[in-house]
Amino acid sequence: MTIHPSSIFQDVEKIRKNAPLVHNITNYVVMNTTANALLAIGASPVMAHALPEVEDMAAIAGALVINIGTLSDAWIEAMFKAAKIAKSRQIPIVLDPVGAGATPYRTRTARELIRAAAPSIIRGNGSEIMALCEEGRTTKGVDSTSASDQAIDAAKALSRDLDCVVCVTGAIDYIVSQKAMVQIKNGHAMMPRVTGLGCTATALCGAFAAVNPAYDKAAAHAMAVMGIAGEMAAEHAPGPGTLQVNLIDSLYRLTEADITERLKM
Amino acid sequence: MTIHPSSIFQDVEKIRKNAPLVHNITNYVVMNTTANALLAIGASPVMAHALPEVEDMAAIAGALVINIGTLSDAWIEAMFKAAKIAKSRQIPIVLDPVGAGATPYRTRTARELIRAAAPSIIRGNGSEIMALCEEGRTTKGVDSTSASDQAIDAAKALSRDLDCVVCVTGAIDYIVSQKAMVQIKNGHAMMPRVTGLGCTATALCGAFAAVNPAYDKAAAHAMAVMGIAGEMAAEHAPGPGTLQVNLIDSLYRLTEADITERLKM
Amino acid sequence: MTIHPSSIFQDVEKIRKNAPLVHNITNYVVMNTTANALLAIGASPVMAHALPEVEDMAAIAGALVINIGTLSDAWIEAMFKAAKIAKSRQIPIVLDPVGAGATPYRTRTARELIRAAAPSIIRGNGSEIMALCEEGRTTKGVDSTSASDQAIDAAKALSRDLDCVVCVTGAIDYIVSQKAMVQIKNGHAMMPRVTGLGCTATALCGAFAAVNPAYDKAAAHAMAVMGIAGEMAAEHAPGPGTLQVNLIDSLYRLTEADITERLKM
């Protein structure tokens, strides 16, 4: 699989034109940031988790994003219900297994969601992707204790077993599908110091997958856009507070030239 | 009804002086933004939704703001309980029917709240206000699919039936009461690209209604302040990330001269 | 107790080096801000409240931060469960009694948590600290109606009865322990106009206590860093929106020279 700046930007233009509805069942910490990132790139985000409405919302969405960052039992039930509808409608489902490996509850929930929802794309950091595959692997909280390249084998196994795209993000992002593996080297060292940028990358996968049925490309395009916007944001950011704000601006202003000049594969 | 810059600013000064307690039962996405907007304009926000305390909190508040953006059954119960106390104390109740029309659950909840709470002010986008009136009208997510002027008739009907003030916001804001309709043309095209600015406008209605018992004027003043602060924020904002930050600064720094120079009715 | 700039910065360096996991059970309004503040200072924050996992998360954390800002019954149960594990592991527990005094539910919950959890550090504003001690004291919402110095006696009584460190923050911050009382006079008048900065100060106590077992010093160091970062942030902030962003940058960039030049005791 090769990734062209022009095809990345075609997806961006489709998102801006169609404003796909991205239904997020996500964590409290990042809701504001991910909603703003989706709006900035041109999508229409909605956050909805109540059992009486998740199915109706999934029924009108262009993509479903499930993120277990602050999960609890009622929310998990909503995730399963929404995923069932999304699956029946064949819209993309994107899963972010936040903190898998940190507690048995998260690891178990992430695995059960994967089995039931058959997500189109899974995006996590190295620790999380490894925790989805390996019994007994544990990690610390929600920050990765492993580099992304340590998780490549796990990502390949997951992708093969589930027939889905797996993104392992870190200093290098790996987008693994049955067919190929793409590396994207954009991004900035300060990005892990902003909460929820992994979750934001996941949310962007939802927007891209809503307009591009080749989910491996959609995921790679989303990771490229996230990394490039992060780089642009960091150039004028004295710290992670400003980076978070600038990132939203960069997503909003992103041009084809930005992508062409900056894409590092 | 005419709106004078000096009377708008009088309300701002009253808010700054009295710091009215605005009790919000609102959605997870916007809590931080609306709390900051209320603090910036001079009010004292509190977010409280637990059944064992919503009545006590409503009992000491100067206004109650109910927003159904990420509703669930337990929160709805809290909204009804708080509204009952607010009504008995005759403090203003402001309702934001976020996403009415997107799912039957939201539409039904918004309508039931309206009947039970008899809100003083309802603020929504075009789609939401129409969904409150018209059977079978549906919309996409929480972003409007209709211009605000398409919802004027619905707003008039709602205002008449409920004896309340209805704000339909969009490129033009319409503030509709039994007596009159005011148009406010401030604001900026980038504002809908920031999540929660509609919710923020609603929260500001709470602050203004807490200091001004003429709720039609309070609502119009709040919409004018929101639009003007948004315009000021956009002037130095390369994108919606910066706009969100600058808006808080503008609310904090707002002067009578800003209002006089910028108000467009 | 004396506080030296060099010992403050030693703690900062330890946090940056060890990235202690700080387990937060906190309120919806501030989750993003406190997570970003903890990341900016160098800690690894995790937000987890679900009953099936709070004990597992507390079992791997370096500190537990409990904040009752948007409490509800299920969350309170989680707070007690997590505190029990934290106590058995002898990791520091930091409590923020947000809004104690505003409703009986908050006052009662804060008092019960104090008895059961025996927190190492309690941080609140003047009204909150007084409400923990005095029967029948009430306050308005979550903003203080009392200056911090009015709460010194209450803080001393609490500290003595519970053998814990009590921080009363305001224009002057008082850090009260059995042994001594320290005053810190850093900070900026615009800080109370940003939501969640008190909660952020509390979260920083968690990070500092995770690396410094002298909890009185840890708390004083956290308050000094918070005040100094706030001052630095305010210097280039036209309003509270920018202040919130700059504060994160300042925590990230903080040097020993900043502390030496600015510390006011």
The interface predicted TM-score (ipTM) is 0.96
**Which chain A residues contact residue C35 at CB under 8 A?**
29, 195-196
C-beta of residue A125 within 8 angstroms of C-beta of residue A170: yes
Q: How far is C192 from chain B (nearest CA, A)?
A: 8
Residues 145-184 on A with a CB inside 8 Å of C are: none
Q: What is the pLDDT of residue B88?
A: 97
Q: What's residue A1's pLDDT?
A: 77
How many Cβ atoms sit within 10 Å of the Cβ of residue C180? 11
Q: How far is CA B127 from the centre of its chain?
A: 15
Kindly give the pairing relationship between strand B121-125 and strand B93-96: parallel
Could you give the 3-state DSSP secondary structure of residue B184? strand
Chains that touch C (3 or more CB pairs under 8 A): A, B
Judged by a CB distance cut-off of 8 A, whether residue B56 touches chain C is: yes
Residues of C in contact with B39 (CB under 8 A): 192-195, 240
Calpha distance B109→B131 (Å, rounded): 12
Cross-chain CB nearest to A195 (options C39, C247, C252): C39
CB A243 within 8 A of CB A237: yes
- Option in C50, C244, C253 nearest A72 (CB): C50
Mutation target to probe the C interface, by most C beta carbons within 10 A, among B21, B53, B197 is: B53
| Contact call for C196 and B35, based on CB within 8 A | yes
- Nearest-CA distance from B37 to chain C in Å? 9
CB B243 within 8 A of CB B190: yes
Strands ordered across the beta sheet of B173-176:
B44-47, B21-25, B63-67, B93-96, B121-125, B165-169, B173-176, B181-184
Q: Is A245 on the interface with C (CB under 8 A)?
A: yes
Contacts of B56 in chain C (CB under 8 A): 102-105
Chain A: touching chains (3 or more CB pairs < 8 Å): B, C
What count of CB pairs under 8 Å joins A to C? 106
Alpha-carbon span B157 to C54, nearest angstrom: 50
DSSP class of B43: -
Point out which residues pair with C166 in neighbouring strands.
Answer: C122, C176
Asked if A249 reaches chain C (Cβ–Cβ under 8 Å), the answer is: no
- B152-167 burial, b at 16+ Cβ within 10 Å, e below that, comes to bebbbbbbeebebbbb
Q: Apex CA B146: angle with CA B144 and CA B152, to 5°?
A: 115
CB contact under 8 A, B242 and A253: no
Q: Work out the minimum CA distance from C38 to partner chain A, whole angstroms.
A: 9
For residue C188, the chain B residues in CB contact (below 8 A) are: none
Chains B and C: how many Cβ contacts under 8 Å?
106
CB contact under 8 A, A60 and B27: no
pLDDT of residue C136: 67
Q: Which residues of C touch A194 (CB under 8 A)?
A: 36, 39
B48 and C70 within 8 Å at the Cβ level: the answer is: yes
Q: What is the percent of chain A where pLDDT is above 70?
A: 99
Q: Do B47 and C33 touch (CB under 8 A)?
A: no
Q: What is the pLDDT of residues C117-175, one digit of tens each?
A: 999 999 999 999 999 987 767 777 888 888 889 999 999 999 999 999 999 999 999 99
**Among the partner residues B39, B48, B50, nearest to C73 by beta-carbon distance:** B50
- B195: nearest CB among A39, A48, A253: A39
Least Cα separation, residue B149 to chain C (angstroms): 32
Determine whether the interchain pair B195/A252 forms a contact, defined as Cβ–Cβ distance below 8 Å.
no
pLDDT at residue A146 in the model: 85
Alpha-carbon distance C26 to C66, whole Å?
6
Tell me what pLDDT residue A80 has.
98
Q: Do A195 and C36 touch (CB under 8 A)?
A: yes
Quick one: closest CA in C to A139, which residue? C60
User: Which pair of tokens denotes residue B236?
Assistant: 């130095």
Query: How many CB contacts within 8 angstroms connect chain A with chain B?
Result: 106
For each of the domains in chain C, give its residue range(s) and CATH number, in order of start. Answer: 5-262 (3.40.1190.20)
Three-state secondary structure of chain A: CCCCHHHHHHHHHHHHHHCCEEEEECCCCCHHHHHHHHHHHCCEEEECCCHHHHHHHHCCCCEEEEECCCCCHHHHHHHHHHHHHHHHHCCCEEEECCCECCEHHHHHHHHHHHHHHCCCEEEEEHHHHHHHHCCCCCCCCCCCCCCHHHHHHHHHHHHHHHCCEEEEECCCEEEECCCCEEEECCCCCCHHHCCCHHHHHHHHHHHHHHHCCCHHHHHHHHHHHHHHHHHHHHHCCCCHHHHHHHHHHHHHHCCHHHHHHHCCC
CB contact under 8 A, B39 and C194: yes
**Digits of tens for pLDDT over chain B (265 positions)?**
789 999 999 999 999 999 999 999 999 999 999 999 999 999 999 999 999 999 999 999 999 999 999 999 999 999 999 999 999 999 999 999 999 999 999 999 999 999 999 999 999 999 999 999 877 677 778 888 888 899 999 999 999 999 999 999 999 999 999 989 999 999 999 999 999 999 999 999 999 999 999 999 999 999 999 999 999 999 999 999 999 999 999 999 999 999 999 999 9
β-sheet bridge partners, residue A67: A96
Q: What is the largest CA-CA distance in chain B?
A: 47
Inform me whether the pLDDT recorded for A199 exceeds 70. yes
Asked if the Cβ–Cβ distance from B50 to C71 is below 8 Å, we say yes
Mapped to the 3 state alphabet, what secondary structure does C170-206 carry? CCCEEEECCCCEEEECCCCCCHHHCCCHHHHHHHHHH
Please answer yes or no on whether A105 and C252 come within 8 Å at the CB atom. no
In angstroms, the separation between the Cα of residue B222 and the nearest Cα of chain C is 19
Q: Does C47 touch chain B (CB under 8 A)?
A: no
Q: Could you tell me if C45 lies within 8 Å of chain A, comparing CB atoms?
A: yes
Which residues of chain C make contact with B32, given a CB cutoff of 8 A?
A: 29-30, 32-33, 195-196
The two tokens of residue C17 are 């080096």
Band (A136; pLDDT cuts 50, 70, 90): low
Chain A's closest residue to B75, CA to CA, is A50
By C-alpha distance, the chain A residue nearest C248 is A241
Per-residue pLDDT of chain C (265 residues; tens, 9 = 90+): 789 999 999 999 999 999 999 999 999 999 999 999 999 999 999 999 999 999 999 999 999 999 999 999 999 999 999 999 999 999 999 999 999 999 999 999 999 999 999 999 999 999 999 999 877 677 778 888 888 899 999 999 999 999 999 999 999 999 999 989 999 999 999 999 999 999 999 999 999 999 999 999 999 999 999 999 999 999 999 999 999 999 999 999 999 999 999 999 9
Whether residue A245 lies within 8 A of chain B, CB to CB, comes out as yes
* Residues 6+ away with beta carbon under 8 Å from C252: A190, A193, A239, A240, A241, C40, C41
CA dist list (Å): A138 to B33, B228, C7, C246: 35, 51, 34, 35
Does the beta carbon of C136 lie under 8 angstroms from any beta carbon of chain A?
no
Q: Do A60 and B102 touch (CB under 8 A)?
A: yes
Measured CA to CA in angstroms, residue B259 lies from B7, B41, B171, B213, B265 at distances of 10, 14, 18, 21, 12
Q: Which helix H or strand E contains B41, and what residues bound it?
A: helix B31-41
3-state SS assignment for residue C65: strand
Look at C36 and A241 and tell me if their CB atoms are within 8 Å.
Answer: yes
